[in-house]
Structure 1
Amino acid sequence: MTNTPKEYDADVIVIGAGPAGLMSAILLGQRGRSVIVVERHAAHYPLPRAVTFDDEAARLLSRIGIDADNDEKIQYFRDWYELKNGNGEVLARYDWRGQTKAGWHRLYWFNQPELEVRLAERIQQIPAIKVARGSELLDLSQDGQSVSIRCREEATGIERVLSAKYLIGADGANSLVRTKTALPVHDLGFQFDWLIVDIKTNEPMVFDPPIFQLCDPTRPTTVVPAGPGRRRWEFMVLPGETPELLNNPDAAWRLLDKWGANPQNCTLERHAVWRFQAKWAETWRSGRILIAGDAAHLMPPFAGQGMCAALRDANNLAWKLDLALAGLADDGVLGTYGDERREHVREFINLSVGIGGVVCITDPAEAAERDRAMMADLAANGPKPSTDPNLSLGNGIWIEGHGCAGKLSSQGYVSFGGNTGRFDEFVDGGWAAIGWKLNPLDHISQLQREVLDRLGVRAFEMTDEYKDGAIFDRDGTYKSWFDEIKSQIILIRPDFYVAISCSAESFSRSLDELGAKMHLKVRSLELSPA
Structure 2
Amino acid sequence: MSEQTEILIIGAGPTGLTLANLLGKLGVKTILIEAREQLIDYPRAVGIDDESLRAMQTLGLVDQVLVHTVPDQQVRIVNGSGKVIANINPTTREFGWPRRNGFVQPLVDQVLLEGISRYQCVDVRFGAEATDLVQDAQGVTVTIGDAGQERTIRADYVVGCEGGASFTRKKLGIGFPGTTRAQRGVVIDVANDPLGTPHAVFGGDPSRAYATLSLPHGIRRWEFSLMEDESDELVDSDEFLDKLLKDHVDDPASLDIIRRRVYAHHARVAESFRKDRVLLAGDAAHVMPVVAGQGWNSCVRDAMNLGWKLHAVTRGLATDQLLDTYADERRDHVKAMVDLSVGMSKVVTNRSKITSAVRDATAAVIDHLPKLKSYVSGQGFKPMPKYTRGVVVHDTSQDSKAVPVEEGAKSSTGMLFPQPKVIDGECGEVLLDDATDLGWRIYAWNNDPSNFLSEQSRRRFEALGASLVQVVPSVQLPWAQQNAMPGVQVVGDPAGVLKQWFHQHPVSAVVVRPDHVVAAECLIQNLDQTLNRVLDKASVAPAGRNESNTIAEAQAAKIQPAR
C-alpha displacement of 1:87: 0.7
Give the percent of matched residue pairs that are identical in Structure 1 and Structure 2: 30
Residues 1:325 and 2:325 are matched in the alignment: no
User: What is aligned with 1:449?
Assistant: 458
User: What is aligned with 1:140?
Assistant: 133
User: What is aligned with 2:387?
Assistant: 393
Counterpart secondary structure, 1:185: coil
Counterpart secondary structure, 1:277: strand
Counterpart secondary structure, 1:450: helix
What is the aligned counterpart of 2:339 among 350, 367, 375? 350
Structure 1 CA distance for aligned equivalents of residues 448 and 536 of structure 2? 24
Alpha carbons 1:330, 1:519 under 8 Å: kept: yes
Structure 2 CA distance for aligned equivalents of residues 387 and 249 of structure 1? 37
Alpha carbons 1:81, 1:211 under 8 Å: kept: yes
User: What is aligned with 1:517?
Assistant: 537
**Length, aligned pairs only:** 516
User: What is aligned with 1:53?
Assistant: 48
Alpha carbons 2:235, 2:260 under 8 Å: kept: no
User: What is aligned with 2:197?
Assistant: 207
Alpha carbons 2:444, 2:508 under 8 Å: kept: yes
Q: 1:133 to 1:390 in 2, by over 3 A?
A: closer
After TM superposition, list the pairs within 5 Å mapping 1:238-257 onto structure 2.
238-257=227-246
Alpha carbons 1:81, 1:95 under 8 Å: kept: yes
User: What is aligned with 2:474?
Assistant: 465
Q: 1:94 to 1:289 in 2, by over 3 A?
A: same
Residues 1:119 and 2:139 are matched in the alignment: no
Q: 1:299 to 1:401 in 2, by over 3 A?
A: farther
Q: 1:69 to 1:22 in 2, by over 3 A?
A: closer
User: What is aligned with 1:101?
Assistant: 94
Residues 1:62 and 2:57 are matched in the alignment: yes
Residues 1:43 and 2:34 are matched in the alignment: no
Code of the aligned partner of 2:137: G
- TM-score between the two structures when normalised by the length of structure 2: 0.87
After TM superposition, list the pairs within 5 Å mapping 1:28-39 onto structure 2.
28-39=23-34
Uncovered stretches (5+) of structure 1, i.e. residues with no partner: none
Alpha carbons 2:178, 2:267 under 8 Å: kept: yes
Structure 2 CA distance for aligned equivalents of residues 463 and 265 of structure 1? 60
> Considering only aligned residues, what root-mean-square deviation do their CA atoms show, in Å?
2.0
C-alpha displacement of 1:23: 0.8
Structure 2 CA distance for aligned equivalents of residues 501 and 190 of structure 1? 42
Alpha carbons 2:387, 2:413 under 8 Å: kept: no
Q: Which moved more, 1:358-367 or 1:371-380?
A: 371-380
User: What is aligned with 1:152?
Assistant: 145
Residues 1:410 and 2:405 are matched in the alignment: no
Q: Which moved more, 1:397-406 or 1:252-261?
A: 252-261
Structure 1 consecutive aligned stretches of length 4 or more whose deviation exceeds 6 Å: none
Counterpart secondary structure, 2:211: strand
C-alpha displacement of 1:494: 0.8
Structure 2 CA distance for aligned equivalents of residues 278 and 498 of structure 1? 29
Structure 1 CA distance for aligned equivalents of residues 254 and 455 of structure 2? 68
Deviations 1:214-262 (A, max 9, x none): 0000111111123331111110112433333345443223312321174
C-alpha displacement of 1:71: 3.3
Uncovered stretches (5+) of structure 2, i.e. residues with no partner: 397-410, 482-489, 549-563
What is the aligned counterpart of 1:490 among 503, 506, 510? 510
Q: 1:278 to 1:401 in 2, by over 3 A?
A: farther
Deviations 1:47-98 (A, max 9, x none): 1111111000000112223336983322213x6422110111111122323x
What is the aligned counterpart of 1:432 among 435, 441, 453? 441
Alpha carbons 2:76, 2:86 under 8 Å: kept: yes
Alpha carbons 2:437, 2:467 under 8 Å: kept: no
Counterpart secondary structure, 1:259: coil
After TM superposition, list the pairs within 5 Å mapping 1:375-394 onto structure 2.
375-381=364-370, 382-383=373-374, 384-388=376-380, 389-394=383-388
User: What is aligned with 2:258?
Assistant: 269
Counterpart secondary structure, 2:291: helix
Structure 2 CA distance for aligned equivalents of residues 265 and 241 of structure 1? 24
Alpha carbons 1:282, 1:342 under 8 Å: kept: no
Alpha carbons 2:15, 2:302 under 8 Å: kept: yes
Structure 2 CA distance for aligned equivalents of residues 474 and 367 of structure 1? 48
Code of the aligned partner of 1:217: P
Code of the aligned partner of 1:511: L
C-alpha displacement of 1:264: 6.8
Structure 2 CA distance for aligned equivalents of residues 26 and 138 of structure 1? 25
Structure 1 CA distance for aligned equivalents of residues 469 and 333 of structure 2? 29
C-alpha displacement of 1:202: 5.9
Code of the aligned partner of 2:24: G
Deviations 1:265-287 (A, max 9, x none): 64100011111111111210011
User: What is aligned with 1:476?
Assistant: 496
User: What is aligned with 1:225?
Assistant: 214
